[in-house]
Structures are given as structure tokens and as C-alpha cells.
Amino acid sequence: MIKKRTKRGFIILLALVAAAALALRFYLKPYAPEGRAETALVSGGGILVERNANWISFEPSAKGGTGIIFYPGGLVEAEAYAPLARRLASAGHSVYIARMPLNLAVTRSDAAEDIIRVHPKLSFVLGGHSMGGVMASRFAARHPDKLTGVFFLASYPDEKGSLKASTLAALSVLGTEDKVLDRKKYREGRAYLPDNTVYYSLEGGNHAQFGSYGPQKGDGKATISEERQQAETVRALLDWMNNLR
């Protein structure tokens, strides 16, 4: 009788765990990549795209630039940033988009560590979109010797990721129509950025168009196309990285 009760209790526990996992998956429904992103994930045109369990890599045949590690925004699948990554790779930079458990960078802020370890010949900048940028700054604050710069797309550092006393270069890109970003926290975050930070205001850009995953709840309406927003973002990143040399 005791064995039957134990077995029944175990089955009930498994059912509860499965139900909880299903509920969590529904509640944390991610933003999936849309058309342009799917196309950008196909190798060709001098760019080799490879995917593994921990990151997506975009390797240009003509290398020579600084490596770029990218942390996705909260609940956004890594693949959604493929068009942005591919543009950067086309300029000669190896790009690595980190995958995050539950699509939340807060669950794996040290994702850059393995990428850096596997590519010892590259120097790196690290950055991210929204929550991804916050978590990128925390890694950079703990490991400033492993990076040459940090960039923020619709993002900012928090106190745990303070770079104020760091010698790292920093770039902040923000769309004028972004209604998702917490402006109060963004202003507070500027106090944790180094004095050499470059600020780039992206006229007409919103929050979601740094990626290719469609509209985001609560966001402003962009007055420029997704393609143009990403092209301008890439231009700002390339100009900034050129000055790091």
C-alpha cells in the first residue's frame, strides 16, 4: 500500500512539474524571428552561419575586424537578430549571438565567457539589446580585461554593471520613438557609463526594430523602416569600433 501511494505521489508530482513548465512556457512566450531573419540565417555571400546550443555565429570569409558578442533582448529569440549580425559580418567582423535559457539574458549573463575562450585570437566588444545590454554590462564590469568595449541598443548599465571607473569604450544607441525603454532607468544608467561614451540618437527608430521579430507591445510607431534602422545602427557600431583601434 505504501509503495502504491509513493508511486501515485511521484506521478502527481511529475504531472504538476509538467503543468508548471507548460504554464511557464506560455507565460514567457518569446518573440520569434520573422522573414528577414530567416533569410539572414542561410550561409552564402561570403558569410558562414553556424548554430549550436549556446550561440549563433556569423563568420566572414574576409576577417580582420574586432569580434562582436551580442546578448538578445528579453523574451526575444537569438535568431531575430540575424539581419543585424549579418550586416556586421559583411564588414569583416565575426559575430556571435548568445542563446539564453528561457530567452532571458538574466539567466546567463556570463554567456560571453565561453565564446571568448573558444576564440582566443580575437579581441571582442560585447553588447546587447534592452535587457541584453544590461546583462552585457554586468559581464563587462566583472571582466574588463577580456573586452575592448561595450555597446547598448535601447539599453543601459545598472549599478551591478557600472563601467564608470572602467577604461572600456562605450556606445549607446537609442531610437527616438522607443516607448518600451524605461526612460527613468535609462537616465539613471548614464551615471554608470564611462566619460568616453558615444551617444547616438536614431531618428524615427523604435525599440523592436533593432531586431526582426515584429511589433512589440507598448512600443512606439517607427517612422523609418526596420532595414534602415538596422543599417544606421550598424553604421554607428562600425564608426565606433573603428575608433577603438
* Same structural domain, 4 and 53: no
What percentage of the chain exceeds 90 in pLDDT? 85
Question: Which grid cell is 19?
Answer: 503543468
Q: What is the pLDDT of residue 7?
A: 57
Q: What is the pLDDT of residue 64?
A: 78
* Same structural domain, 140 and 62: yes
The residue range of the domain holding 18 is 1-30
* Same structural domain, 4 and 48: no
Q: What is the pLDDT of residue 23?
A: 37
C-alpha closest to that of 212 among 30, 36, 63, 25:
36
- Please give the mean pLDDT across all residues of the chain: 91
**Average pLDDT of 117-132?**
97
Q: Are 208 and 181 in contact (CB under 8 A)?
A: no
- Give tens-digit pLDDT for 188-232: 999 999 999 999 999 999 999 999 999 999 999 999 999 999 999
What values do phi and psi take at 225, rounded to 5? -75, 160
* Same structural domain, 79 and 126: yes
- Count other C-beta atoms under 10 Å from residue 199's C-beta: 13
C-alpha closest to that of 138 among 96, 94, 189:
189
Q: What is the pLDDT of residue 245?
A: 66
Q: What is the pLDDT of residue 15?
A: 40
CA distance readout (Å), 4 to 11, 18, 186, 211? 11, 21, 57, 52
Q: Predicted confidence band at 24 (pLDDT cuts at 50, 70, 90)?
A: very low
CATH number at residue 85: 3.40.50.1820
pLDDT at 20 over 90: no
| Contacting residues for 222 by C-beta, under 8 A, at least 6 apart | 175, 177, 204, 205, 206, 209, 229
Tell me which residue has cell 527608430: 205
* Same structural domain, 24 and 39: no
What values do phi and psi take at 188, rounded to 5? -65, -35
* Same structural domain, 152 and 183: yes
Give the distance between the most distant pair of CA atoms in the chain: 74
Q: Are 146 and 111 in contact (CB under 8 A)?
A: no
Q: What is the pLDDT of residue 62?
A: 86
- Give tens-digit pLDDT for 29-66: 899 999 899 999 999 999 999 999 999 999 999 877 89
